[in-house]
Chain A
Amino acid sequence: MTTQYYVPERSYWPILASIGLFLMALGAGTLINGLQQDGSNHGKWLLLTGAALMACIVFAWFRNVVRESRAGLYSAQMDRSFRWGMSWFIFSEVMFFAAFFGALFYIRVFAVPWLGGEGDRGSSNLLWQGFTAEWPLLQNPDSELFPGPSAVISPWGVPLINTLLLLTSSVTLTIAHKGLKTGSRATVKLWLALTILLGIVFLGFQAEEYIVAYTELDLTLKSGIYGATFFILTGFHGLHVTLGTVMLIVILLRVLKGHFDAEQHFGFEAVSWYWHFVDVVWVGLFLFVYIL
């Protein structure tokens, strides 16, 4: 408490990041709106410029923070601020997924059974007579508008393998963390690299699964509510695994450069928290999207 709290000098990164974010949003909006017309507009370039700018800023901003940290500017109190920051960020991510899980539960518990005529919600049943409620929903109320999937993905093939991969990766990451705390850097490098490998293999299987869904099962975004919930949940999870893998790679590179020691390694811990969070989300997905 006696050391002064570090207040950084004025910085170019936030305003540049705001511009980058704005260009990305503007570009994505223009691009997506163009999809419904001829499909060619300048949105793509805005989006790419924004994304490139963002990538540079993220790199520069984090490099800035890493250098400040290694220059010894951060006190134990500063460290706690980062810990609170990361914890609450992960909580916000939990709530982001909660929205999609909530949607899935509402659809399965209320919306689809009501469409099937359950309870006194008979009015919606009038629209599509003969519709039977089932889950997974293979026959949508309006099969011409939303042709349903021919089958769904069995949980005991690729999804089970992926579950084992991710659960193992949490263990390997913990071993790496233990290695860092005991000062055994060879352990850190080996097990961290293994974690990254598991993440990449997971993503490969996920991609394979999507290809099968689209080409063989007719399970697409357009195949009604089953496809919609399936892809939004697994898709956002996959994006988070991708981001987590990138973050782990950065951490591995930092370890190789000799960063982190047994006491000070919040960057490592933050990424490992994130990885465990992504892992837990997958367990929820495996349970509620694939098995049940």
Chain B
Amino acid sequence: MLTQAVAHEHHHGPPPGLMRWVLTTNHKDIGTLYLVFSLVMFLTGGCMALVIRAELFQPGLQLVQPEFFNQMTTMHGLIMVFGAVMPAFVGLANWMIPMMVGAPDMALPRMNNWSFWILPFAFAMMLATLFMEGGAPNFGWTFYAPLSTTYAPPSVTFFIFAVHMMGISSIMGAINIIATILNLRAPGMTMMKLPLFAWTWLITAFLLIAVMPVLAGVVTMMLMDIHFGTSFFNAAGGGDPVLFQHIFWFFGHPEVYIMILPAFGIISHIIPTFARKRLFGYPSMVYATASIAFLSFIVWAHHMFTVGMPLAGELFFMFSTMLIAVPTGVKVFNWVATMYRGSMTFETPMLFALAFVVLFTIGGFSGLMLAIAPVDFQYHDTYFVVAHFHYVLVPGAIFSIMAATYYWLPKWTGNYYNEYLGKWHFWLSFVGVNITFFPMHFIGLAGMPRRIPDYALQFADFNMVASIGAFLFGLSQLLFVYNIIQCVRGGYGADSRVWEGAEGLEWTLPSPAPYHSFTTPPDLREQGGEH
């Protein structure tokens, strides 16, 4: 009976109705679910950012109370990291990796569905804390003890369980991606022929499996400290609040690479396509990604230079952090070298990719500045840090997700998006991002602390500029949403190749891609290497 059901299923597309999405085992459906969820979370977290920027438009308290302001900074960070960026990359992986490696679907399709459907419940619980007695978590997305233990609102318990659920989801998603890449590649697709998006995701998935359990461990210790009388993060019982920071950042630093490595993969697909050249230095891209992943495990305490570490620790973490600039520099060099003497055109995905290269590099350089332990004593917990990580996350991770969306939308829907609106979206976002975050470098260097609802008059002008930029950036995302909806509903039809310079197995499937990808794996053994 089972075999009949399977044979039956292969003959038609998805069943109609809501249950298609709830019960699906299809990698494209699940990818779409992830992407839509991520977009909703992006807009939710974005609204919280706008609450923050509206309050900071002028000095003094205008709109919200400091307590609520703290809840906004915390929830904004958590939602953007765990709700927007990570699910977006998992969604892209779900959609593209089976097609890129020539597989029929993900390796473990039912578990794939479970990984997704945990998330809406986890975030429902996390957002519900906003309406609980004592308010939502207010201790910042890094939830340092004892702010998150001794002084936390009661809702922290639900925050902890929400984090556990997100962790389960991420680990299962990562296991699925690894199994797909390692086991479902088409015959002849050797590891060094693997598309870079798959390579970067493979390494990202490894990082996820390595560090999400550590996050689970640290929130468990918090739970024990809060409710069961242990003293992990309480020096009165022989513990240490700094221990929290060490464990958190052992998770946290690989986590920030989890949010950027897939972006590197995406950019490494888009630039060759629109430069109409092969990617420069494919093997070095793979090794650079692996090096960054390795280094991510031995740099965590650069987030804690001012906590009072021994000198040897400060030095070790300073130098190991600076080492990251080497493989990252290799990547930026390779992207630029790919464009050198290419026949470039500047469609929306390429514009976002180019902005990524430039603006991510700015974020990388400010990261190098922060890596210098002695000067970090000045920068620590100022708006300079906020500027730094928003440069790598917004025009870094988020721009790459937008680039990927525009790049692959014709493959997903069979229609081209509106290029004119796409360009408007790009330029408004580009200008908005820079107006928002560039001034933060200055106010940070001048000493404005982060996570604060009010500030000294000397910071007023730049804050006003940043707030205007934030609203420009936020509102221009409506163009993005509109463009996607229009593209899904119809538009100029795309052929299977979509982009003139696009190469790879995913472009051999028709657009829109069939419900089941490669039912028989394509054989690449006779062909030469793609790279």
Q: Taking the complex as formed, is B209 at the interface, i.e. its CB lies under 8 A from any CB of chain A?
A: yes
Cross-chain contact B308 with A7 (CB below 8 angstroms): no
Residue B171 contacts which of A92, A98, A145 (CB distance < 8 angstroms)? A92
Bound: A123/B154 CA distance, A: 31
B54 within 8 A of A: no
B23 near A12: Cβ-Cβ < 8 Å: yes
- A9-B6 contact in complex given A25-B165, A102-B250, C-beta closer than 8 Å: yes
Tell me how far the C-beta of B405 lies from the nearest C-beta in chain A, rounded to whole angstroms.
Answer: 26
Contact indicator B238/A14 (Cβ below 8 Å): no
In this complex, the member of A12, A21, A145 whose beta carbon has the largest number of chain B beta carbons within 10 angstroms is A21
In the complex, identify which listed stretch (B156-164, B262-270, B423-431, B446-454) lies at the interface while the others stay far away: B156-164
Query: Given A33-B157, A96-B217: A1 and B521 within 8 A (CB)?
Result: yes
Are A77 and B183 in contact, CB atoms less than 8 angstroms apart? yes
From B6, B210, B240, give the contact of A111 (CB < 8 A): B240
Which residues of A sit under 8 angstroms from B187, Cβ to Cβ? 1
Choose the segment among A188-196, A209-217, A221-229 that binds chain B (4+ C-beta atoms closer than 8 Å). A221-229
Q: CA–CA, A221 to B227, complex, Å? A: 11
Query: How far does the alpha carbon of A96 sit from the alpha carbon of B113 in the complex, in Å?
Result: 24
B228 at the interface (CB under 8 A from A): yes
Q: Which candidate, A82-90, A155-163, A173-181, A280-288, is the interface stretch facing chain B?
A: A82-90
Chain B residues with Cβ below 8 Å from A229 are 232
Whether A99 and B217, one on each chain, are in contact in the complex, defined by CB atoms closer than 8 angstroms, is yes
The interface stretch among A65-73, A200-208, A250-258 is A65-73
Q: When the two chains form the complex, which single residue of B104, B220, B250, B308 contacts A5, counting CB atoms closer than 8 Å?
A: B104
A32-B103 Cα distance, complex, nearest whole Å = 45
B5 contacts A99, CB within 8 Å? no
Q: Are A89 and B175 in contact (CB under 8 A)?
A: yes
Most chain-B Cβ atoms within 10 A of its Cβ — which of A17, A71, A84?
A: A84
B237 adjacent to A5 (CB under 8 Å): no
Given A14-B117, A89-B175, A29-B105 contact (CB < 8 Å): no
CB contacts under 8 Å to A, within B341-379, are none
Stretch at the interface among A135-143, A164-172, A241-249, A264-272: A135-143
A141 touches B237 (CB 8 A): yes
B318 within 8 A of A: no
Please, what's the 1-or-0 string for B110-143, where 1 marks a CB less than 8 Å from any CB in chain A? 1101100110011011000000000000000000
Q: Are B227 and A36 in contact (CB under 8 A)?
A: yes
Q: Given contacts A29-B158, A99-B218, are A106 and B246 in contact (CB under 8 A)? A: yes
Q: Which of B162, B223, B237 has the most CB of A within 10 A?
A: B237
Query: Chain A interface residue count: which class?
Result: 35 or more
| Complex partner residue of B15 from A10, A13, A121, CB under 8 angstroms | A10
Q: Taking the complex as formed, is B59 at the interface, i.e. its CB lies under 8 A from any CB of chain A?
A: no
B230 and A221: CB pair below 8 A?
Answer: yes
Please pick, from A98, A103, A141, the residue contacting B235 in the complex, using a CB distance under 8 A.
A141
Q: In the assembly, what is the distance between CA of A17 and CA of B105, in Å? A: 22
Question: Closest approach, in angstroms, between the C-beta of B152 and any C-beta of chain A?
Answer: 11
Residues of A within 8 A of B179 (CB): 81, 84-85, 88
A90-135 contacts to B (CB < 8 Å): 91-93, 95-96, 98-100, 102-103, 106-107, 110-112, 114-115, 119-121, 123-124, 127-128
For residue A154, CB closer than 8 A to chain B, the reply is no
- B81 contacts across to A, CB distance below 8 A: none
What are some 18 contacts across the A-B interface (CB < 8 A)? A4-B520, A8-B6, A17-B114, A22-B122, A25-B122, A29-B160, A73-B2, A84-B178, A85-B107, A88-B178, A96-B213, A96-B216, A100-B217, A102-B247, A115-B238, A222-B228, A225-B237, A228-B232
Interface residues of B (CB under 8 A from A): 2-3, 5-6, 9, 15, 19-20, 22-26, 103-105, 107-111, 113-114, 117-118, 121-122, 124-125, 154, 157-158, 160-162, 164-165, 168, 171, 174-176, 178-179, 182-184, 187, 209-214, 216-218, 220-221, 223-224, 227-232, 234-240, 242-243, 246-247, 250, 308, 310, 516, 519-521
